[in-house]
Structure 1
Amino acid sequence: MMLVEVTAPPLAALPVAGLQDHLRLGTGFGTAGDMAETAALAGFLRAAIASIEARTGKVLLARQFRLRLEEWRDPMGQPLPLAPVSAIERVEIVNVAGAVTPVDPAVYRLVPDMQRPLLAPVGAFLPGIPASGHALVTFSAGFGSAWANVPADLAQAVLMLAARYHEDRSYEGTQAAMPFGVSALIERWRSVRVLGGRGNSRGGA
């Protein structure tokens, strides 16, 4: 199993001004200074968002992902590793020679769920994956395209963690070092990760 982030949140969607307010940063650095500050704060925000998403399995800002599977975990319904999922964009079957066959959207459907969304068949089973081949599932996930769509507790957790990165540039943001306040805010959103295939662990981009 391998999960790849196809698109990234645009700079305009990041709460740079909110982080500036959170940090009580002033203005008046000049155009070059403002651009450098914005780039730095955006970097801290992206790192904080990635950390929160990794801990919760929830996608904060809407974007597209691609999941590669060598086999279905269950041909009667494949769990997707992220939530909330808004749409299955396409499903493709790739054979051992690399030939790609699009799957008719009429034979599969999305079962939305905040913890365990599913790619489910319309009939009895999902289409077969050939030996030494794989399936590609492209889907869109996220609470919305604007920061205002992100739940308040998750949004606050991101600002707190980004502020920690800003204040301590050596902070690595490991799970063991996650600040208590951030952990408390995201705890209710955490879910047990599902596997992409029998006996396989989750891969990453």
Structure 2
Amino acid sequence: MSNLLLFSGPAVEPVTIAEAKAFLRLDTADDDALVAAAIVAARQACESFTGRALITQSWQLYLDHWPERDITLPRPPLQSVTSIKTFDADGVGATLDPATYWVDASALPGRVRRRSDAVWPSPGRDVAGIEVTFVAGYGDSWNDVPQSLRQGILMTVANFYEYRDALHPVTLPAPIGALWQPYRLVRL
């Protein structure tokens, strides 16, 4: 079994408040907090829909045991693996030497493979005995995110803004889904 936790979220959003206000045709700062919250919610909706990390963020993947072949790292695109640790029965972590594994950041999703001559220690606890910390996302700037994902986020912000009362449930409009669909990860 595995468990994925956000360790450090994005420092910026893929759409600026100024961009969103221009898209919404807002001139005043009256709704800046509402627009900012809608941007965060729209990014989270996009990440949930696509299964990807948009802006650089750190994640921790916990595993109960070593997989037979590769450790698959969700939330592509993978930028790097920060560390791989195993924990003993007392919860004390030991970091693996990076020379014992390969990182394939070009795969979707990214993956880690043990080198054939390496021996990885067995975790000393049965639950979450292995921790993989990794960095994912298109980059540090909103400019690194593909334009169709950003456009869909702007459209989602507009949808959230227009239907912000609780009386209208918000669903993903078809044009937004069409923009995000090419980036959606499909599990086989």
Match of 1:8 in 2: 9
Match of 2:163 in 1: 168
Structure 1 residue runs without a partner (length 5+): 195-205
| Counterparts of 2:82 and 2:111, CA distance in 1 | 13
Distance change in 2, residues 1:81/1:13 (3 Å): closer
SS at match of 1:160: helix
User: Residues 35-74 of structure 1: matches in 2 within 5 Å?
Assistant: 37-72=31-66, 74=67
SS at match of 2:42: helix
Alpha-carbon offset, residue 131 of structure 1: 4.8
| Counterparts of 1:18 and 1:112, CA distance in 2 | 31
SS at match of 1:186: helix
Match of 2:21 in 1: 20
User: Residues 114-153 of structure 1: matches in 2 within 5 Å?
Assistant: 115-123=108-116, 127=120, 128-133=122-127, 134-153=129-148
TM-score by length of structure 2 reads 0.87
109-118 vs 52-61, which deviates more?
109-118
Match of 2:89 in 1: 96
Q: What's the C-alpha RMSD, in Å, of the aligned pairs?
A: 2.1
Alpha-carbon offset, residue 126 of structure 1: 6.9
Distance change in 2, residues 1:114/1:26 (3 Å): farther
| Counterparts of 1:95 and 1:11, CA distance in 2 | 37
Alpha-carbon offset, residue 124 of structure 1: 5.4
Given the alignment of the two structures, is residue 154 of structure 1 paired with residue 149 of structure 2, yes or no? yes
| Counterparts of 2:44 and 2:113, CA distance in 1 | 28
Structure 2 residue runs without a partner (length 5+): none
Amino acid at match of 2:184: R
Higher strand share: 2
Contact 1:153 1:186 in 2 (8 A): yes
TM-score by length of structure 1 reads 0.80
The runs of at least 4 aligned residues of structure 1 exceeding 4 Å deviation read 11-14
Alpha-carbon offset, residue 113 of structure 1: 3.0
| Counterparts of 2:8 and 2:21, CA distance in 1 | 25
| Counterparts of 2:106 and 2:156, CA distance in 1 | 27
| Counterparts of 1:44 and 1:61, CA distance in 2 | 16
Amino acid at match of 2:5: V
Distance change in 2, residues 1:114/1:108 (3 Å): closer
Alpha-carbon offset, residue 181 of structure 1: 0.8
Percent identity among equivalent residues? 26
SS at match of 2:43: helix
